[in-house]
Amino acid sequence: MAATKKKKIKKSFQHGKVFIRARYNNTFVTLTDPDGNVLAWSSPGANGFKGARQSTPYAGQVSAEAVAEKAQAFGMETVDVIIKGTGPGRDQTVRGLMNGGLNVVSIMDRSRLPHGGCRPRRQRKV
């Protein structure tokens, strides 16, 4: 029985989305197609940064440039950026996407915000 090879279909997208999760200790960059299917991702750990250097803005920028390089392999030119979190690499990561050759159309901040917060402690009886 001869197994036939499946022909690999080359995907091509003009527009996509980039999700940035900026945490205090790390920054994750994910590239998706317009439907939200993941095409590529990168993080400072995948680019050789270890320990405390992962949380630097430069590490986020390097990760974004790596994702931009992968995006151009899919023929992507423009992206929408969605940012979550309050880490140090937020702004520099978006600059890394621009330096990588992607045209950023919009930037949306979806960081969580407390509305009202938790119930306060009871008043102390003296």
Q: What is the mean pLDDT of each run of 10 residues along the chain (126 residues)?
A: 71 91 94 93 94 93 94 92 92 94 95 88 91
**Is residue 30 classed as helix, strand or coil in its secondary structure?**
strand
In a domain, 10, yes or no: no
Residue 98 confidence (pLDDT): 94
* Pairwise CA distance, residues 32 & 16, whole Å: 6
Q: In which domain, by residue range, is 58 found?
A: 15-109
* Pairwise CA distance, residues 98 & 108, whole Å: 16
CA triple 64-71-21, angle to 5 deg: 35
CATH value at residue 25 = 3.30.420.80
Compute the half-sphere exposure of residue 111: CA atoms within 13 Å on the CB side of its CA: 10
In a domain, 33, yes or no: yes
Residue 1 confidence (pLDDT): 60
Residue 97 confidence (pLDDT): 94
Domain count of the fold of the chain: 1
Residue 11 · residue 39 · CB < 8 Å: yes
In a domain, 41, yes or no: yes
In a domain, 21, yes or no: yes
In a domain, 4, yes or no: no
